Chains A and B, each alone.
Chain A
Amino acid sequence: MLGKLLKYDLKSNAVIMCIVFAAVAVATVGEKVALYFAHEYDDNPYIGISSMSMTMIYAMILIAAVFIAVFLVFRRFYNNCFGKEGYLTFTLPAKATHIYWSKYISALIILTAVAAIVIASLFVVAGNDARDILGFFKDIKTVMFDGIDVNPVLLTVLYILSVVVSFLFFISTVYCAICIGQNFKVHTLIASIVAYLIISWSVSILLSMISAVILVVSDRFGDTAFGKYIIISEIVQITVHIIGMIAEHFYCIHKMKKGLNLK
């Protein structure tokens, strides 16, 4: 059943996402061509202005692609579960758990796809300069890791894990906020936005407080403990996000099982 639900969740956004991906592809080619001409005819002001305009359009298309994907994913979740379409969704012979996970996994797939497309586009546009981008990250790594006593592989893995978990946490927080908004008879959208802000800020404040405590403690052990502070901070952040995510999943599934408030 989860497979069927997932199939329809992905299909429902497929057409718009294909258009978005096509727009990014066209913009990438346009930007690449514009950069080529700007490089070849760098003394021509008209080509320079055209190239700059194209770069602005390209940047706007990339930003729009991300926003459209985010909007579609969360609108789909709301309409499908708490809008009128909920009458169909929750009378399907499917468990609420499956319905929730199909929405979550489809969001993950769509948002990952759009992020991958945007990053790929940036690398295509950068071309040979992509090496400079990689070099830039290497420089950051050198600056960050050489001054502190820390295993660079471990820290890199933790950073990547932290980004992935934060991304997963973001999706579950938005879903959870939408579910919280359903507890209100009116102004459900405003309630959802407020719920999202409260959850996000609460987690940020909690993480800041924990980091401050760890920093104070590690400071007592001198500079050599700074590397450990960074590692522990990352682990704490990942742990807090995972715990938060699990709580949000449980809340959303509970809401879908027991607390539907269909209009």
Chain B
Amino acid sequence: MGALLECRNLTKRYGNKRGVEQINLVLGSGRIIGLLGPNGSGKTTLIKLICGLLTPTSGEILINGSKIGPETKAQVAYLPDVTYLDESMKVKQILDYFADFYPDFNMHRAIDMLEALGINPRERLKTMSKGTKEKVQLILVMSRDAKLYVLDEPIGGVDPAARDFILHTILSNYNKEASVIISTHLISDIEQILDDVIVIREGHILEVSGKEAMCNKYGCSINDMFREVFRC
């Protein structure tokens, strides 16, 4: 089977500033991948490139063999690290919106998750707390049967109980034939669910390997390895 995600000599610069530099990466299906790196390392840039929100300065990205475009966007479910929905809309309207645009959107799954959390689909987003809005966004993304889920800081800025809910939602709802890329600083919270780890520093990929292999190599957990490698 071909690679799900392939980056070839991928470079993104913002004027003179570096975003990512000469990234070469091949990811297969059915994996949960942690994208780890300190602030400003290029994690969000890489994610935005994968989702088609940025255009590479050079190099290319292929998803399921296709260049970034409407076809790949239909296969990628993206959760940004900001609240990005039209706050004047009701949850039900947003569900309909997703169902209309994404053929892989599973309405029943979304409604079940909303019910489990006690979120009223007739409620408008602007009346909800920040945490509830983030949960709604996560539900929308995880209700898709996408080929690739890209989650940018899904557990950043939420309390530990909400983190457990988010991780549980991800694990119990993602398409098992798909891959999930999770970008985060909170490594200890997600370490147990990862299959593979990508470590990125100053726009370059420092390491890509299976979690177990990386733990064996450094003789410690991923969290301890991260603290050691990025010690200030």
Contact = CB atoms under 8 A, between A and B. Distances in A.
Contact of A262 (B53, B69, B70): B53
A1 B100 CA distance: 10
A88 B74 contact: no
B70 A91 contact: no
A256 to B, nearest CB: 11
B101 A87 contact: no
Interface in B45-76: 48, 51-55, 69-71, 73-74, 76
Interface string A93-108: 1110000000000000
Contact of A91 (B55, B73, B86): B73
B84 interface: yes
Contacts, number: 54
A263 B82 CA distance: 9
A interface secondary structure, majority: loop
Contacts of A12: 86, 88
B83 interface: yes
Contacts of A260: 53-55
B174 interface: no
Contact of B73 (A86, A93, A262): A93
A125 to B, nearest CB: 33
B76 A91 contact: yes
B129 to A, nearest CB: 17
B78 A87 contact: yes
A90 to B, nearest CB: 6
Contacts of B226: none
A8 B101 CA distance: 11
Nearest to B100: A4
Interface string A56-92: 0000000000000000000000011000111110111
A115 B82 CA distance: 37
Nearest to A4: B100
Interface in A1-55: 1, 4, 8, 12
Given A87-B53, A257-B55, A260-B53, A93 B70 contact: yes
Interface in A236-263: 257-260, 262-263
Interface in B78-112: 78, 80, 82-86, 88, 97, 100-102
Given A8-B97, A260-B54, A88 B85 contact: yes
Nearest to B76: A91
A86 B52 CA distance: 12
Interface in A193-215: none
Contacts of A262: 48, 53
A92 B101 contact: yes
A12 B71 CA distance: 26
A263 B84 CA distance: 11
Contacts of A84: 82-84
A93 B53 contact: no
A260 B48 CA distance: 10
A8 B100 CA distance: 10
A88 to B, nearest CB: 5
Query: Which of B51, B53, B74, B88 is the most central at the interface, judged by chain A CB atoms within 10 Å of its CB?
Result: B53
A12 to B, nearest CB: 7
Contacts of B85: 85, 88
Contacts of B53: 86-87, 90-91, 260, 262
A248 to B, nearest CB: 20
Interface string A131-172: 000000000000000000000000000000000000000000
A84 B83 CA distance: 7
Given A4-B100, A91-B76, 15 more contacts: A4-B101, A84-B83, A86-B53, A88-B84, A91-B51, A91-B53, A92-B101, A93-B71, A93-B73, A93-B102, A258-B55, A260-B54, A260-B55, A262-B53, A263-B82
Interface of B: 48, 51-55, 69-71, 73-74, 76, 78, 80, 82-86, 88, 97, 100-102
What are the 3 closest A-B residue pairs judged by CB atoms, nearest first?
A93-B74, A87-B84, A93-B70
